[in-house]
Structure 1
């Protein structure tokens, strides 16, 4: 007979439900039970399972404090991309659990590097709505004031602090794309992971949860689990965060993440590196100044996305202007202006990528880039063909939804052109 594994949650169904309700109250505040009651009208057993299992068995466990649990939950839901009501509930729950508004905004920065700009673009509206409903007066996070030339060196320092063998990481990227290697250091590590708005433990919980929920990110997940241990997270805290993924990202995501975590936990401890600072100094280069990247990015933005792109960039000004700045400097200044693809092909590729993701978070960017493709000379038929090409790879539902979005943009554009002719 197989021995019982682990320790089961204590108590009867009624005790688990009661324990779950207490956690739910701490997270949900005054309206904590509204979603559960709404669900119970359709599926009473699922409502009960939600309280008993998710809150009574998992979130009530003592191995991870509730604030960090909410960071893990918010991160996993952001990775999903299409669960905005639940994301809003748990962002609010993070504040109810003692989290700071600025920490919530900082999570948008982490999402940029791990999940992409569309997730931050989508989430900023939810954060703004929460602050308004709570009557919070939020001072925007101050923009960086440096000239940007030290981004690569700062990225190397962060990279060197996270991993035992940064040289191997760099060589692996450089062998295929030196540009990707440089941007990973300059932008992901130098501008995002080196930010101080989240303490190291909270930042690594967020990153680990995003990577694990996104799936198929084993190498980076391994790196950030190691970094989490180095930042002060215990194995228990990491284990609890990954266990929680079973609730918010499904058991397969959690089980795959535990396979990576087990490899980290059972790996022999490595000796502390010696002379790490010398490696950073020997490999540091001077990064391009922000001003040049910004000017190039603004010119590319004006040429491609015009007012629609500018509206997205400016949508962060009241909370975190640096996210808008990063869109201009990195997306448009570093990437979209490159000569390797002509403007039309690049915009069609963007439409394909966004439609393939097919989440609610990618809807607004798909609208922006469909219009940018038309501005760059693509025909409506070419955009339609780009989406039809996805059918074998993403299936009919994702393509049908993307076709709905671009169809609306086609009609808006046609209406505005007719209006211009008749005015």
Structure 2
């Protein structure tokens, strides 16, 4: 996390000096073929191509406040949260490796993505990692699955929350307890007990990733404040966090960065430097076993998607089998197995939610859940209505895209 060696831009520098420094930084990050995207951009927008080198690489990424591997973690995390920037995400995943990052760290980052952005972002990221490892001839050794029975997940999540916030678990779960105790439980057990308590990343690397994802996603002020405080407790400095958010003006845009700075400023003012653990809960519940959740999730997955739970787990075996396991246990065993609404209603809701997000990472899951809705008994007309209902809230392009995808899947079904 230490400072780099390149100096920051000064106000009296020429554009040529900034461009040259930017090209050198671009070469370090991009490796072989580093300038191909810039050259392609120059064919249609030469001024923007120059700006792309001068400001991001010549002014910001050369600043000494963060080392390059940390900066690439911020960039990769922001692009994961974006959901529709796959070429840039792959470029900067490669860039992380080019500046000394480890393949294992990129794989571990997928677990952070599940907690902050959802499974679809992680699934997409794993696909890109496969491509990168193959192209770079990296013999990646898959992350071993966890060995415990899962019954201490709540206890572990509580311990994580107490260590990360002076207010303890109530800082995150308090507002949820009366409205949705189920969500409060999942936040503790899954987000903090399964995902964010993993040991594959340093605290500071994980904190930078989370802050970057939340900033890029936008409108996450409460969560962002919590994780900025956690970052300070884990040893990141205000200056390092300022550098990270400044960098996000490039990859998430100035509005997102400015909003994040407003949250950071308020957090810095309230921060008193205390790192004592938050108050312990009166009692810690025992979590349901992984075996029970996996059995239930496999049954739901088989019924709704005609897919075997073991096949889902195996599909991630080359990178991180626990991702597949968590899809079965958490997404299907915890969430989709609930019976308060019908399977048909649940699948129509999933279709609408995926369509509303409208990102590239949501396209394949939308196809999956359109088919699941049909399997659950939804008619073509009901799927159409669920998507048409989005027009007033998300506009025509988003719904046009969703209707097209749904239509392609429906057309594959026998009439």
What band does the TM-score fall into relative to the shorter chain?
over 0.9
User: What is the TM-score with the length of structure 1 in the denominator?
Assistant: 0.93
Provide closer, same or farther for how the CA distance between residues 146 and 9 of structure 1 changes in structure 2, counting only shifts above 3 A.
farther
Q: Report deviation, 1:310.
A: 7.1
Q: 5+ unaligned residues in a row in structure 1: which ranges?
A: 1-5, 418-423
For the residue of structure 1 that corresponds to 2:307, the secondary structure is: helix
Q: Report the Cα distance in structure 1 between the residues aligned to 2:252 and 2:116, rounded to whole angstroms.
A: 16
What is the rounded CA distance, in whole Å, between the counterparts of 2:66 and 2:97 in structure 1? Answer: 16
- Aligned equivalent of 1:347: 347
Aligned position for 1:145: 147
Q: Equivalents in 1 of 2:310, 2:400: separation in Å?
A: 28
Richer in helix (by share): 1
Deviation at 1:308, TM superposition (A): 8.9
Q: Distance in 2 between matches of 1:308 and 1:351?
A: 21
1:206 corresponds to which of 205, 209, 233 = 209
Which residue of 248, 264, 268 maps to 1:265?
268
Alignment of 1:44-55 (within 5 A): 44-55=46-57
Q: TM-score, normalised by structure 2?
A: 0.95
Indicate the larger mover: 398-407 or 147-156.
398-407
Q: 2:83 aligns with which of 78, 81, 84?
A: 81
- Alignment pair present for 1:162 and 2:159: no
Q: How does 1:297-308 map to 2 (within 5 A)?
A: 297-307=297-307
Q: Structure 1 residues 61, 335: closer, same or farther in 2, change over 3 A?
A: same
Contact 1:301 1:332 in 2 (8 A): yes
Deviation at residue 314 of structure 1 after TM alignment: 3.7
Quote how far apart the aligned CAs of 1:283 are. Answer: 2.7
Once the two structures are superposed, what CA deviation does each residue of 1:130-172 show, in whole Å capped at 9, x if it has no partner? Answer: 0000000011100000000000000000000111112532221
How far has the Cα of 1:265 moved from its partner? 1.0
* 1:420 corresponding residue in structure 2: none
Aligned to 1:68: 70
- Greater displacement, 304-313 / 42-51: 304-313
Would the aligned equivalents of 2:229 and 2:271 in 1 still touch at CA under 8 Å? no
Shift of 1:34: 0.4
Matches of 1:190 and 1:86 in 2, distance apart? 31
1:293 paired residue number: 293
SS of corresponding position for 1:307: coil
Counting matched residue pairs gives: 407
Structure 1 residues 241 and 373: alpha-carbon distance in aligned structure 2, compared to 1, 3 A threshold = same
Report the equivalent of 2:235: 232
| Contact 2:158–2:169 (Cα < 8 Å) also in 1 | no
Structure 2: state its 5+ residue gaps: 1-7
The equivalent of 2:257 in structure 1 is: 254
Which deviates the most, 9-18 or 376-385? 9-18
Question: Aligned-pair distance for 1:317?
Answer: 1.6
The equivalent of 1:357 in structure 2 is: 357
